[in-house]
Structures are given as C-alpha cells and as structure tokens.
Structure 1
Amino acid sequence: MVKVLVVEDEIRISNLLRLYLEREAYQVDVVDNGKDGLEWALKEDYHLIVLDVLMPFKNGYEILEEVRRIKKTPVVMLSAKCSEEDIKRGKDLGANEFIAKPFSPGMVVSKIKEILLQEM
C-alpha cells in the first residue's frame, strides 16, 4: 500500500487532500505543523510527502532540507507564495514538484501518481 504524508496547517486543505488520496487507496497520515511533519517524515517510511511551505514551527523548506540529508522520499511542495525564486528554492532543495495554491486536488493527485510511477 502506498503511504503518503501530508504536512499542511490548513485543515480544509489537508482534509480535501486526504479524501482525494484515500480514494486512490493510499494510506494517508496528516500533520498540521512543521515540527511534527519533520518528525513523522524521518521516523516513518513514506512513498511520498506533500509539504506546505508556510507552517508553524518549521517551514517546508527547512523540513525538506533536513529530510534530504537522510532520505530520498519524493516531495510535492504546496505554497500560496509561488514566485520563480520560491520554486527555484524548492527545486534546489530537492522538491520533485512545486504547486501553487489554490490548486485542484485532482491535479495534485495526478502529479503524485506521475511521481510515484517514476519512482517505482
């Protein structure tokens, strides 16, 4: 079973992503802050991590940087702030995809499927 971690502080968004991902028969864990997100990302083995950029305690860039020191887990970053600089920073740190908010949950799931197919 495919395991996905969603690290997102906006409950409406994390619930929507969980719903769409569970429809694809993925096992989904959701955490709502950067500190817990980093802890879960490092202790569990996920097939993919969905990571919001702006969150309490640790931002998505900090989490991605720490995860990349240890793991190669694919990461999809989400952000309301999507300048070329933001996207470049995410990609330079090792994000597989950078998606602007607001987004279509169906499009996010499609990107996740695409990345997982490449990884397997």
Structure 2
Amino acid sequence: MGQRILIVDDSPELGESLQLYLSRQGFEVDVAHNGAEGRALIDKRKADLILLDVNLPDESGFDIARDIRRISAIPIIMLTGRKDEVDRIVGLDLGADDYVAKPFSAGELAARIRAVLRRAEAAAAGHRDDAREKQNAWFGGWQMDLGRRRLLSPDGREIRLTAGEFDLLLALVKYPLQVRSREQLLTSTGENAAEAFDRAIDTRITRLRNKIEPDPKNPIFIRTERGVGYVFCQKVNWR
C-alpha cells in the first residue's frame, strides 16, 4: 500500500483532480473540503503528509497547521492562491514543511511531496552520519537524544521539534563556534537549495530560538552573522 496523502482544500475540482493524479502516482489519497472534515480525517486515519489549503470556508488552514504541530510532526505542505511572502513566512513559522502557491502543476506538486516525504523518512531513520552515531549531544544544560530524536530542556522537559527543526539544530550543533551559511544548512538538512526560497532557514531559526533561547531577541545559542549565516555559540559535548 502506498503512502497516504490527505488533501484539505475547498475546491472540489482541485481535490478530485489531485486525488486522481496522486493515486496514479501510487499514493493513497483522502480529500476533505473544509476544516471540520479535515480534522475528522486527521483523527480517524493516519496520513503520511497533509496538503493544507490556507483559505478554507470554515477556518484558516494556519489554525489547523498550528493545532497539528502541537501534537504531531507529520509533514505539511500549505496551498494558497496568495503569493505574498508574508503568508509563506507565517506558514513556515507554524511548522509547515513547504509552501506552494496556486496555480501549480500536478507534476511539480508531486515532486515536492516526494521531496518532503524523503526528508521525513531520512529524519526518522536518524541520518546515520558520523555525528549521529554518537547518541547524545549536550550544550548549556540541554540534551539532544539523537537515537530517539528528542530534545530535552535543562529541567528535563521534552521540547517538541519538527523533523526540519531537529535537523537544522543538529546541523548547527555539529559545527559549534563555526559560521554556517544558509546554503550549507539547507544542504545539511537534506533540502535542495535551488528549491528553497531565501527565508526558509531564517524562519526555522526563529522557531528554534523561540523554543530554546531564554530570550529569543538576545540569543545565546544561535547567533546571526549578518550577510553570512548562523553560528552555534555553545561548546558541545558528545557522549
């Protein structure tokens, strides 16, 4: 059985055409036409990825994405008829893995779906590179449990990270006190730099800071090197 895609979009024509196309590509596809139907299907049947329209008749797709991210790291691709960069940033800030503006080709969307699923699968497998063979990274009282892909705060609480956030933090932690460019970070997290727009890494950095920094506006862990990239400012111990 193929991977299951949930489409939440208020256009019956788009939902039907995507369901037909993606089914031919080997996916199992469910379709919902409003937020209530989408939430019901999310609760009823496990999906491997959600295509989520921003403008639904009964509620904002942003609200659904926010609620999903509180309990799950399931990949989300936001769909919208608007092309404002602000909307893209809001979607990524809420934890979306990609953002596609309408109109789009079914072929491009299928390629993006496969790319996001590959990243999620690689993340779940643990990315067994040299650094990840070490089971734990410690910095400033924080612990990254690489085997179980968990981040624990100094007081022992688990801080929920999406797959993309965990990979980005690891890409920084692997090179402490070294400046890493946005392109290097995109490559380290398994993303195609040519496909990602300029603010993708910046937005995820903001989300990470909100989760680990005592004062996100005055970061002590992830510092910005203007015009270059980012640097992880803490010493890291591996054990």
* Bin for the TM-score computed over the shorter chain: over 0.9
Counterpart residue identity of residue 24, structure 1: Q
Instruction: Give 3-state SS (helix, strand or coil) of 2:18's partner.
Output: helix
* Identity percentage of aligned residues: 37
**What are the equivalent positions in structure 2 for 1:87-98 lying under 5 Å apart?**
87-98=88-99
Match of 1:17 in 2: 18
Aligned to 1:5: 6
What's the secondary structure of 1:28's corresponding residue?
A: strand
Unaligned residue ranges in structure 1 (runs of 5+): none
Offset, 1:17? 1.0
Deviation, 1:91, is 0.2
Measured on the aligned residues, the alpha-carbon RMSD in Å equals: 1.0
Separation in structure 2 between the aligned mates of residue 62 and residue 102 of structure 1, nearest angstrom: 23
State the partner residue of 1:58.
59
Deviation per residue, 1:83-107 (Å, 9 max, x gap)? 0110000000011111011111110
Q: Post-superposition shift, 1:81?
A: 1.2
| Structure 1 residue 42 displacement after superposition | 3.3
Matched length = 120
Select the structure that is richer in helix. Answer: 1
| Structure 1 contact 34–58 (Cα < 8 Å) conserved | yes
Counterpart residue identity of residue 43, structure 1: K
Shift of 1:39: 2.4
Residues in 2 aligned to 1:65 and 1:36: alpha-carbon distance in whole angstroms? 17
Report the Cα distance in structure 1 between the residues aligned to 2:81 and 2:42, rounded to whole angstroms: 22
Q: What amino acid sits opposite 2:87 in the alignment?
A: D
Q: Distance in 1 between matches of 2:39 and 2:66?
A: 10
CA distance in 2, matches of 1:114, 1:26: 14
Distance in 2, matches of 1:75 and 1:42, equals: 15
**By how many angstroms is 1:60 displaced?**
0.7
Deviations, residues 20-52 of structure 1 (Å, cap 9, x unaligned): 110111110001001111222233211000001
Q: Which residue of 2 aligns with 1:116?
A: 117
TM-score by length of 1: 0.95
Which of the two has higher C-alpha Rg? 2
Shift of 1:77: 0.6
